[in-house]
Every structure is written in structure tokens, then in C-alpha cells.
Chains A and B, each alone.
Chain A
């Protein structure tokens, strides 16, 4: 009677483990929608009577008519000219407010371009009024 059995070495089969793991990686990569976490910030003016003292007549008024078509203080300008104009005004008065008015049909990125330019020039008071506010201001003859 042969009592000695052959020893087989104990083994965990791990060959397929890598396949499973790579499958999971591919699945997560294909289903992931990455979120962008950077952008431009702006705050609405607080409902504080102290802050409402800004006179819109004193502000630089930028009207965006279309891609590359801007009217700054009632004068037509290109984006570069506008940058120079705003910068010269900022040198005189760094607190000077800037109002951006965008026509409804203009693509969103044009407004972002202007907003970005103003941020580059470190304009502190940028105001983006909504259509209803513009309508209200028009009553006072501030906008064209």
C-alpha cells in the first residue's frame, strides 16, 4: 500500500485577475463624464443701498453687437482697441465700473471673450445686467 501521495503545490489562479481589472478600467474610462472645475466667477451686487451709489453714466458701457462688433461708449471698436481704451480709462480711475450689455442673438463665447479681457485688465467693477434691468435703465435714458 502506497501511502505517499504526490504533493501538488498550492496555487491561486490569478491569470484572469488582470483581465477583469483591465475590463473594469476600460468600463470606467468609457462611462466617465469628467467635470470641469474651473471657470470665471462673478458675484451679483448685494442688495445693499451703499453699493447702489454707482452712477451708470460714469461707467464704461460696452455693447456687444456680434462677433468682433462692439460699441464702447457709443463708438465702434474691435476687441484690441477696446482693451486699450478700457486700460487707459482704468489708469485714470481703477474703480471705474464697466457695464457689459450683450444683444440676445450674440453667441455666448463673445461675451466670455469680453469678460475675460476685462478680467485680464483687472477691472474690479464689472457689471453684467440682465435684459430686464437694461429695460429698466433704458427708462432713465442710460442706454442707447
Chain B
């Protein structure tokens, strides 16, 4: 009796589609992410009321360490030493686009004085539309 000898099959894991999946994920993340030109990390205050702000708006960021960063929305942010420098930068932006929106991205624990200085500069140099960036606040349960 001749026993049939099975040919050995080499074990393989099919990984060909892995790359497809990974690239699909890359493309998904690339399309859904919007990058901020200002990389200052801030802990934003929370609010219930939130509306969409212009993604191309100019940004003024105030960090918890009171650092001031300005970006016109296209070029990367510049660190400012004093709020006085802000005035001329705002003026340049307003001259180019009079209806440009300005966003204030301030840390929640920053004293209001710092925000006020920025508002003052924006107002006196012709900015019209202002946005205050916030995180979504979760409503209190039970109505209290």
C-alpha cells in the first residue's frame, strides 16, 4: 500500500492588504485633520454656546505663561514680547482684508487683563469680527 504523502504547505500570513488599509487610514487622517498655524498649547475655557469660526481667521494666542503669539492665519505664529507689537500686525492684516476674523485663543486661567489688552489692540486697529475659542461644555445633569 502506497501512502500518499502530502506536500508541505509553507505557512504564510497574507499581509498584502495591510498596506492598503494603512494608506487608507493615512488619507483619512490627512483629509479630516485641520492644522493650526499656532502651536501654543492652551487649555481653552468651556462654553455651551459655540459656533463655527472662520478656518482662515487670524489667531492671537495667549498661553498660561502669558506668552503672546500672533498668526495671520496662513503663516506660522510669531512670538510677541509686548502687546504693543500686536497693533501693527493687526493693521497689516486689516489693510489686506478688512473683514478678516480674529480669533482669541486664550488659556482659561489667564488673567482677564491680558485678554483685555488684546481686545484693546484689535479694536483700536480696526478689527471687526472677533471670535473667542472655547471647548464644548457638558451641560449639568439634573438641572440643579
Interface residues, chain A, with chain B CB atoms under 8 Å away = 14-15, 17-18, 20-22, 24-25, 28-29, 32-44, 46, 64, 102-113, 115-116, 119-120, 128, 130-132
Contact = CB atoms under 8 A, between A and B. Distances in A.
B9 interface: no
12 contacts: A34-B34, A40-B50, A41-B132, A46-B128, A102-B112, A104-B112, A108-B45, A108-B109, A111-B112, A112-B45, A112-B134, A115-B47
A130 B112 contact: no
A37 B53 CA distance: 6
Contacts of A22: 22
A38 B53 contact: yes
B26 A40 contact: no
Tell which of A22, A25, A36, A42 has the most Cβ of chain B within 10 Å: A36
A119 B130 CA distance: 15
B44 A36 contact: yes
B3 interface: no
Interface string B11-38: 0000110110111011001100111110
A33 B45 contact: no
Which 3 interchain pairs have the tightest Cβ spacing? A35-B36, A21-B22, A18-B18
A142 B41 CA distance: 39
A37 B44 CA distance: 12
Contacts of A28: 26, 29-30, 33
Contacts, number: 160
Nearest to B107: A108
A22 B110 CA distance: 39
A24 B28 CA distance: 13
Interface residues of B, number: 57
A38 B111 CA distance: 22
B123 A44 contact: yes
B10 interface: no
A109 B82 CA distance: 23
Nearest to B106: A108
A40 B33 contact: no
A38 B137 CA distance: 12
Given A38-B53, A40-B132, A108 B112 contact: yes
Contacts of B41: 33
A25 B15 contact: no
A17 B17 CA distance: 10
B135 A111 contact: no
B36 A39 contact: no
A99 to B, nearest CB: 14
Interface string B107-139: 111111111100110110001111111111100
B93 to A, nearest CB: 15
